[in-house]
Amino acid sequence: MTSSPLPSYFDQANKAANFLREKLGALMPRIGIVLGSGLGAVADAVSSPVFVAYGAIPHFPQSTVEGHSGRIVAGLLGGVPVIVMQGRVHYYEGYTPQQVTFPMRVLGRLGIESVILTNAAGGINSNYQIGQLVLLADHINLLGFNPLVGPNEPRFGEVPGSGLRFFDMTEAYSVQLRGLAQEAARTISESGGEALHEGVYLATSGPSFETPAEIRAFRALGADLVGMSTVPETIVARHMGMRVLGISCVTNLAAGISATQLSHEEVFEAGSRVQHKLARLFERLVPAIAATQMETAS
């Protein structure tokens, strides 16, 4: 007897997407949200939720980090179908770049057109305060890898112009989605009716936090925020032609900027405090994004 070969990465993503499609039934979301450290309770704002544990989804990686509970919450947010990933896996947990970005592949195969990637980040820009939400204007990849290294799989590119070996990253974070987020922020009292800052996010592998010398170097490179996630997901989402909105929650000032030492507890607690603000923002923002998708579909 011969054993059957392992399914290809593409087939694995399809299998996971088909599994989820069956679980979600008539919902058919076109907007995906990934919740970062300490931000998981934003999923409480989802009405009529369907829960799917990552462990139940074929080939899906499971998070080992406290504060990333590891399940899908699908339902309505602001009356619009969404699929929320409550928790993500990171490179520092020992997962391969392909495993880290597998959920993004699955969202793409599920028909998601826009993803909102949230994260906890250290603030490098001295204008930032703890608890602030910052929109990602761009990123710097210092993770030491790109998740697309390896054979290109053009079948991941269903949208015209996607699935390419080489592709443009001039507008990794959608200008249109940032505009909608700014409009939404101005209408919610939790942000004092003020516009959000926009900044450059630099990704390191972690898991150790940075040294003060590294933070000085990152500032000189043009970074406003530092964190250990999001960038691989953005690259893969763009490869599949999805629009990306990145939102950092400044959970701490980066190393050496304040006299205090950094801890995961501090990051987690600060994240927990802004969840309410983020949930209110999403209730406005998600319908606004959905309206633009209906425009493009018609």
- Rounded to 5 degrees, φ, ψ at 177 are -65, -35
Residue 89 Cβ, how far from ligand HPA at the closest point, in Å?
Answer: 15
Contact string (CB under 6 A) for ligand HPA, positions 224-263, x = contact: --xxx----------------------xx-x-------x-
Q: Which residue stretch of 82-90, 98-106, 174-182, 220-228 sits at the interface with ligand HPA (rule: CB under 6 A)?
A: 220-228
Is 153 annotated in the active site?
A: no
Active-site residue identified among 181, 252, 255, 290: 252
87 binds ligand HPA (CB under 6 A): no
**Closer to ligand HPA by Cβ: residue 134 or 267:** 267
Is residue 18 part of the annotated active site? The answer reads no
Record the tokens describing residue 262, joined without a space.
């950094």
Q: What is the DSSP letter of 114?
A: E
Least Cβ distance, residue 133 to ligand HPA (angstroms): 14
Mark whether 141 is an active-site residue: no
Site map (CB under 6 A) of ligand HPA, residues 125-164, x = contact: ----------------------------------------
Q: Is 35 in the site for ligand HPA (CB under 6 A)?
A: no
Comparison of 121 and 180: residue with beta carbon closer to ligand HPA: 121
User: Which of these is catalytic: 43, 74, 90, 114?
Assistant: 90
Minimal distance in Å, beta carbon 34 to ligand HPA? 15
Cα–Cα distance, 189 to 142 (Å, whole number): 36
Catalytic: 92?
Answer: yes
| 68 is an active site residue | yes
Q: Note if 37 is an active site residue.
A: yes
Burial of 76 (0-12, 13-18, 19+ CB in 10 A): middle
Up-side HSE of residue 144: CA atoms within 13 Å toward CB? 7
Specify which residues 138 forms β-bridges with.
200
Burial letters 249-270, b for 16+ CB under 10 A, else e: bbbbbbbebeeeebebebbbeb
**Which whole-number Å values give the CA distances from 255 to 45, 199, 221, 260, 262, in the listed order?**
33, 18, 16, 8, 7
| Candidate list 74, 77, 80, 120; residue touching ligand HPA; CB under 6 A | 120
The two most distant CA atoms of the chain are separated, in Å, by: 67
In the list 38, 122, 163, 232, the residue contacting ligand HPA (rule: CB under 6 A) is 122
Assess whether 95 carries a catalytic annotation.
no
Report the residue count for the chain.
298
* Tokens coding 68: 């990333």
Task: Indicate whether 43 belongs to the interface with ligand HPA (CB under 6 A).
Answer: no
- Name every residue whose Cβ is closer than 8 Å to that of residue 65 and which is 6 or more positions away in sequence: 37, 87, 90, 93
> Which positions lie near ligand HPA, rule CB under 6 A?
120-122, 209-210, 226-228, 251-252, 254, 262, 267
- The catalytic residue positions are 37, 68, 90, 92-93, 120, 228-229, 252, 264
